[in-house]
């Protein structure tokens, strides 16, 4: 990657994240731990101030109540210089302090017009989704399978619904992605599962099914684009009792050797739990009706319908919570 002039872009991206974090937790001191003299000189060209000597570095950090093993090529900027950090976009590692120190940091920052301007710009340019779910993009997923064991039973259908906030701050479904999947070699197909989901012939040509690797590649690509566009760090799966959904995605990705699975490997949002809290109902059909959403029993148990109705339920719960928060 060297020689492609990407260093400045990466440094700027890191700076924007640090500036945004500072508005929430209070950046007390920003430190650049360069790997050698050449790297240190490069960071210094962006406004970093070199600290000469390990002992000086240690003393500075100890004064701020941090433990730090200073290295030879260390550059730093303290709270008094925070405006210059923000202005020059030098921020590689941000530390948080106690509540008292965070308050002091904000007070010092607020006296710097340059910092105020940078903070306002960062907040205005940050998509709402980037901060709403701790940097995760919720993606509602439903699968139809040949059984309940993701390691041995076939993945037959997968649907994902992307959600986003509209101009009024209301969370809404925006796009549905869906794939019919051919059973992998040696996959188990439980007749009871096929009867339940109505996929009587997984190899029927009218299904338009594709191999697992192709199905997941088609699914993952737009999800990764949505994660990037939303300013999030990765996707988090939303499902109604999502253990099977997340397990099936992870197992299929492992079987096919696909890298860069956009979903968090074990965390998820469960609409059964959320609906139990919001509406006192955990069964999907009952929760949907309690939320005032139409339920069609004839369409249920297809991946697309279940994903879309679960997305509608998830959005209703989030919007209900957000409306309560605005009233407080």
What are the residue numbers of the active site? Answer: 301
CA dihedral 176, 134, 287, 308 (to 10 degrees): 0
Beta bridge partners of 158: 143, 179
Tokens at residue 171, please?
């969370």
Contacts of 37 (CB under 8 A, 6+ apart): 73
Helices (H) and strands (E) in the chain, counts: 13, 9
**66, 30 contact by CB (below 8 A):** no
- Beta 234-239 vs 263-270: how paired, if at all? parallel
Beta carbons within 10 angstroms of residue 75's beta carbon? 23
Bridge partners of residue 157, in order along the sequence: 144, 180
Burial degree of 49 (CB within 10 A; 0-12, 13-18, 19+):
middle
Question: Please, what's the largest Cα pairwise distance for the chain?
Answer: 73
Go through 245-274 and write b for each residue having 16 or more CB atoms within 10 A of its CB, e for each that does not: bbbbbbbbbebbeeeebbbeeeebbbbbeb
Q: At what angle do helices 271-279 and 303-327 cross, to 10 degrees?
A: 50
Task: Give the SS3 label for residue 111.
Answer: coil
The answer to whether residues 287 and 277 touch, using CB atoms and an 8 Å cutoff, is no
167's tokens? 């101009």
């Amino acid at each position: 990657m060297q020689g492609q002039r990407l260093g400045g872009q990466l440094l700027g991206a890191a700076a924007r994240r640090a500036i945004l974090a500072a508005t929430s937790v209070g950046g007390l001191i920003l430190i650049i731990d360069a790997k050698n003299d050449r790297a240190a000189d490069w960071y210094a060209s962006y406004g970093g101030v070199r600290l000469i000597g390990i002992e000086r570095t240690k003393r500075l950090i100890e004064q701020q109540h941090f433990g730090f093993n200073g290295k030879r090529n260390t550059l730093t900027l303290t709270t008094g210089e925070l405006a210059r950090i923000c202005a020059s976009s030098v921020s590689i590692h941000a530390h948080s302090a106690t509540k008292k120190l965070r308050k002091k940091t904000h007070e010092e920052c607020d006296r710097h017009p340059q910092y105020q301007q940078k903070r306002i710009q960062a907040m205005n340019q940050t998509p709402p989704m980037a901060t709403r779910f701790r940097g995760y993009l919720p993606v509602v997923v439903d699968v139809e399978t040949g059984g309940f064991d993701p390691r041995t039973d076939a993945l037959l259908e997968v649907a994902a619904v992307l959600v986003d906030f509209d101009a009024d701050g209301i969370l809404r479904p925006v796009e549905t992605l869906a794939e019919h999947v051919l059973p992998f070699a040696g996959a188990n197909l439980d007749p009871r599962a096929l009867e339940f989901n109505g996929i009587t012939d997984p190899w029927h040509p009218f299904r338009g099914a594709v191999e697992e690797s192709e199905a997941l590649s088609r699914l993952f690509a737009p999800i990764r684009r949505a994660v990037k566009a939303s300013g999030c760090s990765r996707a988090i799966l939303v499902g109604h009792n999502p253990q099977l959904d997340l397990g099936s995605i992870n197992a299929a990705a492992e079987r096919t050797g696909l890298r860069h699975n956009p979903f968090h490997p074990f965390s998820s949002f469960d609409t059964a739990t959320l609906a139990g809290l919001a509406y006192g109902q955990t069964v999907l059909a009952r929760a949907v009706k309690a939320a005032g959403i139409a339920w069609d029993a004839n369409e249920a148990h297809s991946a697309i319908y279940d994903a879309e109705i679960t997305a509608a339920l998830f959005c209703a719960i989030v919007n209900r919570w957000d409306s309560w928060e605005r009233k407080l």
